[in-house]
């Protein structure tokens, strides 16, 4: 009896030992590093070179390596806190220790618009308005904006009253439509101005939409600018009775004094020195432009479209054999003057690239009057200039 | 939510949403991977790319056309493809006399190339060669890196990071214990990387922790590092920047009450109260023609009875 009991105990102990063995991993020289967040195990131990070179044993060896690593990982994962959701056990992983690059930049806060900034300074908060408004005329709830608003508006304003002092032939509907359009345009203008302001683009200070909403100040400024926009900078423009001369139209450049504080002068000189020899290049913009050009070219090639633009846009007719020869001889090709059709056009522009000499020849051949010749002479002067 | 700072506004809500989705996010989506071919490919390398696509399956896209792209000469077309498909990982297959059976694996940061490695594939054994059960699609693999070169040599160090990025899949916080199914092993030896893929079998061990057994499911290959183009330190540093506070996107219409129950708000069409079914009672029954007639008759009988 006693002996059998001892055997049983021994058996149980042996079994327990085996069980523990099954989960244990043999000791390694360098401990395995586990990144539980990414489920990555790193084994920094040196590998057995002979087995790896032997193609028969290689696979089995690698599998045993992988098994040990995965076993350590699983052991660690099973020790992590778990949670039971819908009859399945979930383990909560810690933060990954191996850092992986982001896909895109860290998002930046949206810059405030001019109104938002103003509202923030003044402490104005947005009030939520109800989406529907009671309409006394229609005796029903009407949307404040959006879906079915226009419909309700049409129903309500089936007739429009012409104001007493208004032109009786004026289309009141068109007037309202115009106002609406102007309003939309104004909003769009302000949106763009906000974007420009936030991306630090310099904007002209004059910009009047010329609508009903323009403030007197804006109109006055616009009038002043218009007045100033003559060849003599508005010196001889007649003024209205009692009109004050405009001032503060622009910033006058102040001349810096030649003598100043030593530190200031030093700074100025160093600034100038820093600027010398450095190209004024916006690298980002240049790169994007290059990318864009490449894209355009690529698309054109891919679509099988025209490789070249219109001849006229490429700079005139193609070169003939005689042109090439004349280039070689240093005579220059026919059309090498300034281009265009106007008065200031160069000798090469008219007559499809015929130069002055050929023009003269033509004139004499045709027995034309001296007018053409004179013209040609004039051109000669021009080209000399 | 990051703002869409665009000069041209999206015209529809749908396109606006699509653009917003592509904007930089605080908590990012899983990186999408793009698989495509170069102008010339061999059958083996085509199969290799197909298998890799099958391994990643969920966050990946495979293009069918040939592409006249040489990424080490001009990376712009690759960037263009990545932008178009909003994917920041790519794997390209090429084949030439000089570099047979070639795959180029790379990743982007902010629509520009970050790292790119050219790997020659040797001793390829496809998924189909191993006749056994495979793992479920989209399982997050456990990865094992063996060999000292992954720590010592810079190129392999970056390759390790790239491989983790490439294969890790969803950035999960919580994982189901049964979800540990797939293991990938990368062993570097003599400048070559052995890639093996296993299915994890969790066996009973008698203790709480299961015993792990591995079964090879393929694909298996040997990778030879060829050309590479890695990011500058500055760019890498920028790409590793994390936002100061991780703000999740706003979840609408879902809230929790004090007891921790999740409540959702569902928007429905307007209810027609006229057709609402209330408590059934005889008195409230609608009077139809038939009932009217029978009612009249009953009342008539009653009258006769009273007369008698």
pLDDT per residue over A78-96, tens digit each? Answer: 999 999 888 889 999 999 9
pLDDT tens digit string along A227-256? 888 898 888 888 888 877 776 566 667 777
Beta-carbon separation of B174 and A59 below 8 A: no
Q: pLDDT tens-digit profile of B12-25? A: 999 999 988 888 98
* Contact predicate A141/A132, CB 8 Å: yes
A183 — pLDDT class (breaks 50, 70, 90): very high
pLDDT tens-digit map of B202-233: 988 888 889 999 999 989 999 999 999 999 99
Three-state SS at B89:
strand
Please tell me the distance in Å from B114's CA to the nearest CA on chain A.
Answer: 9
| CA atoms within 13 Å, Cβ hemisphere of A293 | 6
pLDDT, one tens digit per residue, over A16-62 is 777 666 777 777 888 899 999 999 999 999 898 888 888 888 999 99
**Overall average pLDDT of the B286-293 stretch:** 65
Handedness of CA A282, A285, A288, A289 (dihedral sign): negative
Using the beta-carbon criterion (under 8 Å), do B174 and A83 form an inter-chain contact?
A: yes
Q: Is B217 exposed, middle or buried (0-12, 13-18, 19+ CB in 10 A)?
A: buried
pLDDT in tens, A187-201: 998 898 888 888 887
CB contact under 8 A, A77 and B141: no
- Given the structure tokens 């040489």, which residue do they identify? B70
Question: B177 is in which domain, residue-wise?
Answer: 29-238
pLDDT above 70 for B300: no
Q: Provide the pLDDT for residue A339.
A: 45
Is residue B166 a part of any domain in this protein? yes
CA distance A99 to chain B (A): 7
Q: Which residues contact A27 (CB under 8 A, 6 or more apart)?
A: none
| B263 part of a folded domain | no
For residue A381, pLDDT beyond 50 = no
Contact B5/A110, CB-based, under 8 Å? yes
Rounded to the nearest 10 degrees, the angle between the axes of helix A114-122 and helix A172-198 is 80
Out of A100-104, A381-385, B16-20, B217-221, which region has the weakest mean confidence (pLDDT)?
A: A381-385
Residue A47: alpha-carbon gap to chain centroid: 51
pLDDT of residue B297: 54
**Mean pLDDT value of segment B257-285:** 84
Read off the pLDDT band of A14 (50, 70, 90): confident
**Chain A residues 271-330 with a CB less than 8 Å from chain B:** 291, 294-295, 298
ipTM: 0.78
Q: What is the CATH number of the domain that holds B172?
A: 3.40.50.10480
Q: Whose structure tokens read 């220059």?
A: A332
More confident position, B206 or A162: A162
Q: Residues B43, B100: contact at Cβ < 8 Å?
A: no
Band of residue A12 on the pLDDT scale cut at 50, 70, 90? confident
pLDDT category at B296 given cuts 50, 70, 90 is: low
Q: Give me the residue label for tokens 């899983």.
A: B30
Would you call A20 an interface residue with chain B, using a CB distance cutoff of 8 Å? yes
- pLDDT of the residue at B304: 46
Position of tokens 């920028």?
B238
Query: Phi, psi at residue B268, to the nearest 5°?
Result: -130, 175
Cβ distance B147 to A20 less than 8 Å, yes or no, reads no
In this predicted model, what pLDDT tens digit does every residue of A320-336 receive, in sequence order?
777 777 766 666 555 44
B273: in domain: no
Average pLDDT of span B255-283:
85
Mean pLDDT of B238-242: 91
- Share the mean pLDDT of chain B: 87
**Cα B258 to Cα A255: distance, rounded to the nearest angstrom:** 70
Given CB atoms, is B69 within the 8 Å cutoff of chain A? no
Ramachandran angles phi, psi of B185, nearest 5°: -120, 130
Q: Does A43 touch chain B (CB under 8 A)?
A: yes
Does any CB of chain B come closer than 8 Å to the CB of residue A199? Answer: yes
Please indicate if any CB of chain B lies within 8 Å of the CB of A179: no
What lies within 8 Å, CB to CB, of B101 at 6+ separation is B42, B44, B45, B48, B95, B120, B121, B122, B124
For the cut 60, the answer to whether the pLDDT of residue A116 exceeds it is yes
CA distances from A283 to A92, A273, A287, B211 (A): 45, 21, 6, 58
User: Could you read off the pLDDT of A284-325 as tens digits, one per residue?
Assistant: 778 878 887 887 777 777 766 565 666 665 656 677 777 777
Q: Is residue B53 pLDDT above 80, yes or no?
A: yes
What confidence score (pLDDT) does residue A21 get?
65
Per-residue pLDDT tens digits for B108-148 = 999 999 999 999 999 999 999 999 999 988 899 999 999 99
What's the domain count of chain B? 1
pLDDT single digits (tens) A348-380 = 334 444 444 444 444 344 443 334 444 444 444
Instruction: Find the DSSP H helices in chain A.
Output: 2-23, 49-53, 55-78, 114-122, 149-156, 172-198, 216-228, 262-275, 283-302, 311-314, 321-329, 356-366, 370-384
Q: Is A104 on the interface with B (CB under 8 A)?
A: yes
The pLDDT of residue A369 is 38
Quote the CA–CA distance of B79 and B89 in Å, as a whole number: 10
Contact A75, A23 (CB under 8 A): yes
Confidence class for position B57, pLDDT limits 50, 70, 90:
confident
**Residue B238: which pLDDT band, with cuts at 50, 70 and 90?**
very high
* pLDDT for the residue A354: 41
In a domain? residue B275: no
CB of B206 less than 8 A from some CB of A? yes
> Looking at the domain assignment, is residue B15 inside a domain?
no
- Residue, of A335 and B168, whose pLDDT is higher: B168
H or E, element range at B295: helix B289-307
Q: Is the pTM of this model over 0.95?
A: no
**What is the per-residue pLDDT for A256?**
75
Decide if B68 is inside a domain.
yes
Is residue B248 domain-resident? no
B97 occurs within a structural domain = yes
Residue B107 pLDDT: 96
CB contact B196 to A (< 8 Å): yes
| Per-residue model confidence as pLDDT tens digits over B107-118 | 999 999 999 999
pLDDT band at B51 (very low <50, low <70, confident <90, very high): very high
- A334 CB neighbour count, 10 Å cutoff: 21
Report the pLDDT averaged over residues B62-88: 93
pLDDT at A315: 59
């Amino acid at each position: 009896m006693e002996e059998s009991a001892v055997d049983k105990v021994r058996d149980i102990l042996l079994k327990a030992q085996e069980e523990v063995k099954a989960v244990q991993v043999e000791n390694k020289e360098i401990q395995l590093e586990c990144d539980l967040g990414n489920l990555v195990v790193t084994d920094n131990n040196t590998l057995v070179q002979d087995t790896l070179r032997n193609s028969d044993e290689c696979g089995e060896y690698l599998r045993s390596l992988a098994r040990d690593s995965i076993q350590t990982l699983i052991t660690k994962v099973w020790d992590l806190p778990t949670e039971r959701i819908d009859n399945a056990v979930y383990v909560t992983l810690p933060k990954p220790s191996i850092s992986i690059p982001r896909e895109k930049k860290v998002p930046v806060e949206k810059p405030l618009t001019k109104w938002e900034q103003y509202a923030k300074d003044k402490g104005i908060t947005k009030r939520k308005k109800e989406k529907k408004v009671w309409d006394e005329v229609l005796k029903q709830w009407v949307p404040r904006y959006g879906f079915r608003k226009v419909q309700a508006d049409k129903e309500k304003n089936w007739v429009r009253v012409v104001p007493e002092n208004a032109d009786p032939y004026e289309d009141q509907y068109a007037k309202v439509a115009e106002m609406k359009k102007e309003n939309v345009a104004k909003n769009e203008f302000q949106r763009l101005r906000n974007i420009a302001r936030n991306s630090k683009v310099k904007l002209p200070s004059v910009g009047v939409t010329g609508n009903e909403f323009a403030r007197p100040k804006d109109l006055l400024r616009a009038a002043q600018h218009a007045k100033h926009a003559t060849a003599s900078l508005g010196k001889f423009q007649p003024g209205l009775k009692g009109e004050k001369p405009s001032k503060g139209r622009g910033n006058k450049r102040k001349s810096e004094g030649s003598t100043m504080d030593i530190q200031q002068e030093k700074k100025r000189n160093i600034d100038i020195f820093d600027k010398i020899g450095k190209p004024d290049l916006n690298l980002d913009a240049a790169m994007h432009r290059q990318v864009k050009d490449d894209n355009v070219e690529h698309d054109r090639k891919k679509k099988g479209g025209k490789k070249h633009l219109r001849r006229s846009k490429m700079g005139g007719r193609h070169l003939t054999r005689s042109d090439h020869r004349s280039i070689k001889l240093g005579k220059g090709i026919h059309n090498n003057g300034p281009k265009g059709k106007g008065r200031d056009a160069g000798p090469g522009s008219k007559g499809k690239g015929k130069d002055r000499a050929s023009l003269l020849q033509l004139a004499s051949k045709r027995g034309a009057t001296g007018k053409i010749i004179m013209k040609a002479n004039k051109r000669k002067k021009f080209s000399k200039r | 939510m990051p703002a869409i700072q665009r000069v041209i506004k999206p015209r529809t809500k749908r396109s606006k949403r699509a653009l917003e989705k592509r904007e930089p996010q605080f908590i990012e989506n899983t990186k999408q991977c793009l698989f495509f071919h170069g102008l010339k490919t061999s059958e083996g390398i085509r199969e290799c790319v197909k298998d890799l696509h099958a391994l990643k399956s969920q966050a990946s896209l495979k293009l069918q056309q040939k592409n006249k792209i040489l990424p080490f000469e001009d990376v712009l077309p690759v960037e263009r493809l990545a932008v178009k498909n909003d994917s920041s990982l790519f794997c390209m297959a090429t084949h030439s006399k000089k570099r047979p059976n070639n795959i180029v694996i790379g990743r982007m940061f902010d629509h520009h190339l970050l790292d790119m490695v050219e790997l020659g594939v040797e001793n390829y054994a496809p998924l189909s060669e191993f006749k056994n059960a495979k793992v479920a699609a989209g399982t997050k693999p456990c990865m094992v890196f063996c060999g000292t070169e992954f720590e010592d040599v810079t190129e392999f160090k970056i390759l390790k990071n790239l491989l983790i990025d490439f294969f890790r899949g969803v950035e999960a916080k919580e994982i189901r214990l049964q979800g540990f199914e797939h293991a990938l092993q990368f062993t570097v030896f003599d400048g070559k990387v052995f890639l093996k893929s296993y299915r994890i079998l969790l066996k009973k061990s008698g203790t709480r922790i299961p015993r792990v057994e591995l079964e090879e499911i393929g694909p298996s290959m040997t990778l030879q590092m060829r050309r590479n183009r890695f990011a500058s330190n500055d760019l890498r540093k920028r790409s590793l920047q994390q936002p100061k506070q991780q703000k999740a996107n706003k979840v609408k219409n879902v809230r929790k009450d004090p007891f921790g129950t999740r409540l959702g708000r569902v928007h429905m069409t307007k209810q027609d109260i006229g057709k609402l079914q209330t408590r059934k009672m005889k008195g409230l029954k609608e009077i139809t023609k038939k009932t009217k007639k029978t009612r009249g008759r009953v009342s008539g009988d009653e009258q006769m009875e009273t007369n008698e």
